[in-house]
Amino acid sequence: MTTSALGQEPSVALRTEDFAVLAQARLEPAVWDFLSGGSGAERTLAGNLRAFDAVRLRPRILTGTAEPDTGVELFAHRWPVPFAIAPVACNRLLHPEGEVATVRGAGALGAVTIVPMLASRTLEDIRAAAGAPLWLQLFWTRDRALMTELVERAESAGYGALVITSDMPVMARRLRDLRNRFVIEPEFGPVNLGSAGVQVRGGEGESGVRAHAAKTFDPTATWRDLEWLRSTTRLPVIVKGVLTDRDAELAVRHGAQGVVVSNHGGRQLDGAQSSLTALREVTRALGGRVPVFVDGGVRRGVDVLVALAAGADAVLLGRAPMWGLAAAGERGVREVLALILEELREAMRLCGAATTADLGPDLLSWSAP
């Protein structure tokens, strides 16, 4: 019998949501709300999950698949698993070791972590703890010198790519945070921003996080700024927050070397289409010109399989590994990822897919069950 992050009892962590239960028990209610909530009426948050629930599989039989290979090739690197950790701000809100625990857990499976610009540990400490490659996520900030400084630090510390989040000209109204007047206290807050990291308190009906974003994020950014960002670095630049074929085209035309199809986990435009729906139009438009990543609502291995079959090159995981982090630090992250990998391997076997290259649109049925 195995024990898991859920305690000394025989393992009951049979699905990632089991880690959410323990995470919620460990976190302050306002932090739990920040982690799990979305914007507005949380329609897009729910839609991301529903889209995966609705798709059905068309498995193949008698393919002789005993040991599926879950690896993918990206930017001339072999990833042993087709998923990475999505950028999630301020991991110290969830666990005292913060991003250091996250990258240790991810590193155990060789999974890339996309370190958030708003990390609560230094880029260098995170790098020192990492057992797998790291990428750095940036927001468009009014202070461009801050962006170039972070790019230089990421390059010197050996980060492998930049992910520029482009779906947050303004932070959407997240009603749970507004009700809670949610503030990230400095001890859990961003540590890589110098004086730009100063805390902004929320006023009446305002969240501190949203007030901070309003002050520092740049709503005037355009595709030209993407060209500028590319000119500052030798690292691949990947645009996060693409939801349409048109923007996927524009991203590539303006120099993006990859795109992340994402509605920010239902935290930005409430009513935006689900990430899985958007993935289909983006992969059709790009036809393999640059790697396509997707995030939003991926909770189990079969969701990863569906995303790859719909044309993603790899999947990013946001809340699921963060439940593990909150539940049990490094070990919890590792266990969540191991669970998703085990589910993926089982689903690949049952679909008769020996490699990730065997996962294509033929596997998917979009009509009713």
Ligand X SMILES: CC(C)CC(=O)C(=O)O
Q: Which does residue 303 touch among ligand X, ligand FMN, none (CB within 5 to 8 A, set by kind)?
A: none
Does residue 118 belong to the site contacting ligand X (CB under 6 A)? yes
Strand locations in the chain (E): 3-4, 7-10, 56-57, 72-74, 77-79, 83-85, 113-115, 134-139, 162-165, 237-242, 258-261, 292-295, 314-317, 364-365
Task: Choose the binding region for ligand FMN from 66-74, 277-285, 292-300, 343-351 (rule: CB under 6 A).
Answer: 292-300
* CB count in 10 Å sphere of residue 76: 5
Residue 239: which of 227, 254, 223, 256 has the closest Cα? Answer: 256
The smaller minimum CB distance to ligand FMN, of residues 312 and 317, is found at 317
The CA distance from 146 to 190, in Å, is 13
Smallest gap from Cβ 318 to ligand FMN, in A, equals 2
The CA distance from 176 to 213, in Å, is 17
Does residue 221 belong to the site contacting ligand X (CB under 6 A)? no
From 5, 23, 85, 89, residue interacting with ligand X (rule: CB under 6 A): 89
Task: Choose the binding region for ligand FMN from 153-161, 201-209, 283-291, 316-324 (rule: CB under 6 A).
Answer: 316-324
Smallest gap from Cβ 63 to ligand FMN, in A, equals 30
The CA distance from 121 to 131, in Å, is 16
Does residue 213 belong to the site contacting ligand X (CB under 6 A)? yes
163-200 burial, b if ≥16 CB within 10 A, otherwise e? bbbbbbeebbebbbbeebebbbeeebbbbbbeeebeeb
The smaller minimum CB distance to ligand FMN, of residues 33 and 358, is found at 33
Q: How many residues does the chain have?
A: 369
Smallest gap from Cβ 106 to ligand X, in A, equals 19
Strand locations in 68-161 (E): 72-74, 77-79, 83-85, 113-115, 134-139
Annotated active-site residue 264? The verdict is yes
The CA distance from 136 to 194, in Å, is 17
Smallest gap from Cβ 212 to ligand X, in A, equals 7
The smaller minimum CB distance to ligand FMN, of residues 39 and 48, is found at 48
From 72, 74, 111, 118, residue interacting with ligand FMN (rule: CB under 6 A): 118
Q: How far apart are the first and last CA of the chain?
A: 36
Q: How far from 183 is each of 87, 201, 318, CA to CA, in Å?
A: 19, 6, 21
The smaller minimum CB distance to ligand X, of residues 118 and 347, is found at 118
The CA distance from 265 to 38, in Å, is 7
Q: Which does residue 209 touch among ligand X, ligand FMN, none (CB within 5 to 8 A, set by kind)?
A: ligand X
The smaller minimum CB distance to ligand FMN, of residues 53 and 73, is found at 53
Does residue 86 belong to the site contacting ligand FMN (CB under 6 A)? yes
Smallest gap from Cβ 139 to ligand FMN, in A, equals 7
Query: In the range 183-212, which residues lie near ligand X by CB under 6 A?
Result: 209
# chain residues binding ligand FMN, by CB under 6 A: 23
The CA distance from 151 to 169, in Å, is 20
One character per residue 240-269, x = contact with ligand X (rule: CB under 6 A)? ------------------------x--x--
The CA distance from 9 to 4, in Å, is 8
The smaller minimum CB distance to ligand X, of residues 89 and 163, is found at 89
Query: In the range 193-252, which residues lie near ligand FMN by CB under 6 A?
Result: 240
Beta-ladder partners of 355: 69
Does residue 319 belong to the site contacting ligand FMN (CB under 6 A)? yes
The residues carrying an active-site annotation are 264
Residues in contact with ligand FMN by CB under 6 A are: 34-35, 48, 86-89, 116, 118, 137, 165, 240, 262, 264-265, 267, 295-298, 317-319
Residues in contact with ligand X by CB under 6 A are: 89, 118, 209, 213, 264, 267
